[in-house]
Chain A
Amino acid sequence: MNLLDALKVRDSQGKQFVPDVRAANPIGFRGLPVINDAPCQQGCTECSDCCPTTAIQLQNFSLDLGRCVWCDECVRVCPKDKITFTAGYRTASCTRDGLLVHEGRGLGPVEASEAIRKIFGRSLKLRSVSAGGCNGCELEINAMANVNFDCGRYGIDIVASPRHADGLILSGPISANMAEALELCYEGMPDPKFVIAVGACAISGGVFEHSPVLDRAFLGRFEPDLYVAGCPPHPLSIVNGILDLMGHADGSW
């Protein structure tokens, strides 16, 4: 290897990491939606009619981020600008119901898990399992560990074996053909352990919700401790959700 060539690469690389993942600014990102409290046009059902994943409820207007695929269709058909997508990337919740966005009210904060903080401290080793994931969430989970988002600096690592893992990151709607392998992987992890569901497919089935060849029984038995909404979620969404769960007060490391 030519040392000078290597130094040129190092020089061109500079500093690539996002200094503070708590205060990043992903310009242009279609992220956290805001629902304004202006009334809908009388009898209008345009947004819920066009939603591909029935994420919108008109009565007591709400948008379910566990279903939303951020296709932007509802925004385009609405005569009243009821829904606006912002660049906000804090799209995680520790409960399934917490993913509902209502008028004038966004997502609640992810509550730090006392158990996770106590048992795992500031080191969290995660095993990724894709069960029907389209490689969108998988690429973003990978990106979480790259030089830009660098989750390793917070003690969060993706590990190669369930034997080394504290938690399981699930992506994909859980295809029936993958259900058994997913169970085996979870069984292979030492106790105590927990599940993180990443992306609309893992959380609700997403665009595949009504497919007869899914088997989502796993989630009935092992309720996730963290849901990260998105299609796919931004790496910042995943990192921030996990940091919240770990009880990190700020983005320092």
Chain B
Amino acid sequence: MSHPNVLLQPLSELETLDFGGFAQRIEDHFANGRRLLSLFGSPSSDPADSTPELHAVFVDREQGLIHFRGRRQGTQHYLSLTSEFPVLHCFEREIHEQYGLAMPGHPWLKPIRFEGTNLKRMNDYPFYKLKGKEVHEVGVGPIHAGVIEPGHFRFMCYGETVQHLEIHLGYQHRGAEALLRKTAPRKLPPLIESIAGDTAVGYALAHCRAWEALCGLSVPPEVEAIRCLGLELERVAMHLVGLSGLATDIAFLPGSSTYGRLRTSVINLSMRLCGSRFGRSWFRPGELRFPFNQSHKVDVRKTVQQVQTDIAIINNLFQKSKTVQHRLCTTGTVPTPLAQEIGLVGMAGRASGLPCDLRNELRGGAYAQRPIPLVIESTGDCWARGLIRIHEIDTSLNWIMQLLDTIPEVEAEPPPKAEPRPNCVAVSFEEGWRGEVMHSIQTDASGNIAHYKVQDPSLRNWFGLAQSVKNNAIYDFPICNKSFDLSYCGNDL
């Protein structure tokens, strides 16, 4: 049985429309209330044609994943849909940057990550200008005060109030997608786990599912369960990083140190299960690399119970403290309609009231028999993005405790030999701790990788951070930034 998180189609059967029909189909899906997961380009199958083919992926709660393709017909042009559907803005910008496809009508056609011909033009970023006598600009970065990835933030301020924030990324661009397309499949996973190293498990699982679909492999339910255990441990650990960071940024020291050391407990558990605090090398296509026996189960149960006990104590203090409430409540708000309009995803989307969670929408793997409750907040401020972490940690830990009872002892299994099917395309998704991670692999006539596309949830959510600080005081920016905790390298690739 195929996995709901992945859709595999032979290229000959992939629904293909001309650019006009493609745009119409996108409009229809939006009209029917379906959620867009991705819009990306791939090189044309005709080597003489420099116009890329475009791929759109939607999710429907009943039908699951929907994937179709747009192709230029004759001298047809693609007309930007961003003005009508702002959700598309970052995808169209990326396609424009990667393939040079004109985007007539796009209101904000700026570089996403300065790749390709844009490389080394970092100082030419076309910042939006605010004019006026008492208006001033504040530039921060690319290097920041803490231990954090680089990116540039340009604030246009009137007094201390931010009128507009422009986020200029690209400093982390390592050419990851180009490397993915020329690396031998068996050597891919370590590279995949390094695209956004804080989401190593989420990325590895999205890759596993895409590759397994292409090779016609499947893994037994107990392996699925261990994969979901790894994914939820990563979520808990990174949410703890977020809470610790939020507490640090508002000088709430008990939260900073307690959430921080709880994270150590959780990642050390991952280390005892697979050798890596980040779950690196834990998951590979078709394979169970590390055994899971009774002593592991006892270890997971004991560690999770201890974290549950201790986190309740710090959560109580964190949520009751006036200093925390004062700094986080109503700060950096993205109201639901705006979140919907710009297409926030993952944890940040749920904090703004959007029910976007692929664990819930697709119910793949261990989430099929044992659905994980959807956690949602409505206020969309820093407080909501703090609370969503607290509640998701609780939910994930409870879910792990229930799941644990169902996992039998399993021995490590070497990977089966398998070759990918030629001329196919697989799109695969995983709800990582930040949000949905996409991997799409296309094979050529010999079964080699012809195209590999990855998408981090941060690509869509950076614009949400920019929106959240509007009309906020500039000194609240660090907590807004931490509350989103987005990936720079996941965006820059």
Interface residues of A (CB under 8 A from B): 1-2, 5-6, 8-10, 12-13, 16, 26-30, 50-53, 69-73, 76, 85, 128-143, 146-148, 158, 160-161, 172-173, 175-178, 180-181, 185, 201, 206-208, 210-214, 231-232, 234
Contact = CB atoms under 8 A, between A and B. Distances in A.
5 contacts: A5-B320, A16-B264, A28-B275, A134-B489, A161-B145
A210 B179 contact: yes
Contacts of B31: none
Interface in B168-206: 170-176, 178-179, 183, 186-187, 189-191, 194-198, 200
Contact of A130 (B150, B183, B241, B280): B150
A175 B171 contact: yes
A177 B171 contact: yes
Nearest to B275: A30
Contact-residue bracket for chain B: 35 or more
Interface in B145-178: 145-150, 170-176, 178
Contact of B254 (A6, A76, A138): A6
B130 interface: no
A148 B314 CA distance: 17
Contacts of B48: none
B258 A12 contact: yes
A30 B322 CA distance: 43
A176 B261 CA distance: 35
B321 A1 contact: yes
The 4 tightest CB contacts between A and B, nearest first, are: A136-B197, A30-B275, A134-B197, A28-B272
Contacts of A141: 147
A44 to B, nearest CB: 17
A148 B310 CA distance: 16
B316 A5 contact: yes
B414 interface: yes
B145 to A, nearest CB: 4
A2 B241 contact: no
A132 B148 CA distance: 11
Nearest to A1: B321
Interface stretch (B115-123, B220-228, B367-375, B436-444): B115-123
Most buried by A among B120, B171, B487: B171
Contacts of A73: 186
B72 interface: no
Contacts of A70: 275-276, 280-281
B383 interface: no
A208 B197 CA distance: 13
B148 A138 contact: yes
A248 to B, nearest CB: 22
Contacts of A142: 146-147
A73 B287 CA distance: 12
B317 interface: yes
Contacts of A143: 264
B171 A72 contact: no
Given A134-B196, A135-B489, A207 B171 contact: no
Nearest to B264: A148
Given A134-B197, A139-B241, 19 more contacts: A5-B313, A12-B314, A27-B272, A30-B281, A52-B190, A72-B281, A85-B275, A129-B143, A135-B198, A135-B489, A138-B148, A139-B198, A142-B147, A147-B260, A172-B172, A175-B492, A177-B170, A211-B179, A213-B115
Interface string B256-271: 0110110010001001
Given A9-B314, A214-B174, A146 B261 contact: yes
Contacts of A6: 254, 317
Contacts of A207: 179, 190-191, 194
Contacts of A147: 257, 260-261
A212 to B, nearest CB: 6
B77 interface: no
A135 B254 contact: no
B278 interface: yes
Contacts, number: 206
Contacts of A2: 317, 320
A142 B309 CA distance: 25
Nearest to B282: A72
Nearest to A2: B320
Contacts of A28: 268, 271-275
A152 B492 CA distance: 33
A210 B276 CA distance: 25
B114 interface: yes
B323 interface: yes
A181 B320 CA distance: 42
A134 B195 contact: yes
B29 interface: no
Nearest to A171: B147
Contact of A213 (B145, B173, B275, B317): B173
Given A129-B143, A135-B196, A160-B146, A71 B190 contact: yes
Nearest to B241: A139
Most buried by A among B142, B322, B323: B142
B280 A231 contact: yes
Given A6-B254, A52-B190, A29 B271 contact: yes
Given A8-B317, A30-B275, A177 B147 contact: no
Given A5-B317, A9-B317, A146-B261, A71 B147 contact: no
A185 B141 CA distance: 11
Contacts of A131: 150, 171
A212 B119 CA distance: 11
Contacts of B271: 26-29
A132 B200 CA distance: 16
A161 to B, nearest CB: 7
A5 B314 CA distance: 8
Contacts of A16: 257, 261, 264
B322 to A, nearest CB: 7
A208 B317 contact: no
A98 B377 CA distance: 52
B301 interface: no
A121 B174 CA distance: 37
Contact of A133 (B149, B173, B322): B149
Contacts of B488: 135
Contacts of A210: 179
Contact of B120 (A52, A161, A176): A176
B194 A136 contact: yes
Given A5-B317, A130-B150, A208 B119 contact: no
Nearest to A53: B190
A140 B197 CA distance: 11
B147 A178 contact: no
